[in-house]
Structure 1
Amino acid sequence: MRWMIRIVAGLIVITVALAAIGVVFLPRTVAVSRFTVIDAPPAEVWPFVSDLRRFNDWSPWAGYDPEGTRYVFEGPESGVGQIMRWTSDHPNVGSGTLTVVAYDPGRAVEMRLEFGETGTAETTVVLISSDEGTEATWGFMTDLGTNPVARLFGLMFDSWVGNDYETGLANLKALVEQNKGSSG
């Protein structure tokens, strides 16, 4: 009977060791992106994605805590240096800062997303003209570092962030198509 306990204990130790080694080989960075096609030219989509003051018009997180979330906007109204800070007690919103770090008018905006001690990420919105209107791609990338627990959680980012990005792009599509032809 003792030999069976030793074999089971040995198998458990080997399994744990292999799992720990496997975590080291998980990707350090996580990238998630989603896209949609909007029935409008890029010029009609751009005002909604290029101005952080318009972000909550289509953000998937704006509806979670509309009364409790506080926003502060800093910097210019367009271009690099725009900043949006928010605070909320709602677990799906939290607190953070979004800063425009690169800006290609009419085509792309890149932002740094900061969640305090939780970490930072880069997010982009890219618009490409197509026969159907505008292909809008919203992307997210973060460096998880060497923390094995963070790397394990990295396996779930696609479903966590991806679902929100799909909702946000659907909101953006509906908003732009509803306002099609107006000045935005």
Structure 2
Amino acid sequence: MKFLKNFLIVIAVLAIALVIVGFFLPKMVHVERSIVINASQDKVFQQVNSFEDYNSWSPWYKLDPEAKYEYSGPDSGVGAMMSWDSEDSQVGSGSQKIIESQYPSLVKSELLFGEDPNPAYATFVLEELGPKETKVTWSFDADFGDNIIGRYFGLMMDSMLGPSYEEGLESLKAEIEK
């Protein structure tokens, strides 16, 4: 009985320690990757400012080509929206809506995943390096606020999302340069 009591005390102390440490973890998470595409800034902007051809380079489409997609709003720019629903847990369900579009250098989208009401944001920043050369930086930002589990999850976000962003940027480059 004494062993069980000591065991429960150790578990309680560990749980309290995890919660306390969690409050000191960063609330915000930022992941970003960049690539140089041999195309004009205008051509790259037209591609990322619309969901029309998104699945031609999206790393998540490749995970589940059978996912259901719906598009609403304008064809491009602010208000353009894409929703998806997948049986694959790596893809899940959610929506992405363009909330800011500054020709020819920035496109920002609000992301909602599943039932989570807290948005994340994906941003494309385009920098002209030459007449036919554009640096594309794709970033992801989320605020976990007081969500302790989310803050721990945020510690792993770069290693989980970064490779998908790299794959997506490589596919975007191939799609635009072909």
Query: In which range does the TM-score fall when normalised by the shorter chain?
Result: 0.7 to 0.9
Residue 95 of structure 1 corresponds to 93
Aligned length: 175
Per-residue deviation at 1:20? Answer: 2.8
**Aligned counterparts of 1:135 and 1:16: Cα–Cα separation in 2:** 45
**Aligned counterparts of 2:63 and 2:128: Cα–Cα separation in 1:** 32
Residue 112 of structure 2 corresponds to 114
**Aligned counterparts of 1:10 and 1:74: Cα–Cα separation in 2:** 54
Residue 61 of structure 1 corresponds to 60
Residue 78 of structure 1 corresponds to 76
Q: Counterparts in 2 of 1:42-61, with a 5 A limit?
A: 42-61=41-60
Asked whether the 8 Å contact 2:92–2:114 carries over to 1, the reply is: no
Residue 151 of structure 2 corresponds to 151
Residue 28 of structure 2 corresponds to 29
4+ residue runs over 3 A deviation:
6-19
Amino acid of the structure 1 residue aligned with 2:55: N
Per-residue deviation at 1:22? Answer: 1.4
Per-residue deviation at 1:19? Answer: 3.5
Compare CA radii of gyration and give the structure with the larger one. Answer: 1
Per-residue deviation at 1:10? Answer: 7.7
Amino acid of the structure 1 residue aligned with 2:171: N
TM-score (norm 1): 0.85
Deviates further, 7-16 or 157-166: 7-16
In structure 2, list runs of 5 or more residues that go unmatched: none
CA deviations over 1:69-110 (Å, ceiling 9, x no partner): 111111111211101011110111111111010011221110
Q: Relative to 1, partners in 2 of residues 1:58 and 1:16: Cα closer, same or farther, differing over 3 Å?
A: same
Question: Equivalent pairs: percent with the same residue?
Answer: 38
Amino acid of the structure 2 residue aligned with 1:20: V
Per-residue deviation at 1:161? Answer: 1.2
Per-residue deviation at 1:137? Answer: 0.5
Task: Tell me the secondary structure at the aligned position of residue 58 of structure 2.
Answer: coil
Amino acid of the structure 1 residue aligned with 2:87: D
Per-residue deviation at 1:44? Answer: 2.0
Per-residue deviation at 1:174? Answer: 1.2
Task: Tell me the secondary structure at the aligned position of residue 52 of structure 1.
Answer: coil
Task: Tell me the secondary structure at the aligned position of residue 174 of structure 1.
Answer: helix
Task: Tell me the secondary structure at the aligned position of residue 46 of structure 2.
Answer: helix
CA deviations over 1:96-145 (Å, ceiling 9, x no partner): 11101001122111000011323420111111001481110001111112
TM-score (norm 2): 0.88
RMSD: 2.3
Per-residue deviation at 1:52? Answer: 1.0
Task: Tell me the secondary structure at the aligned position of residue 55 of structure 2.
Answer: helix
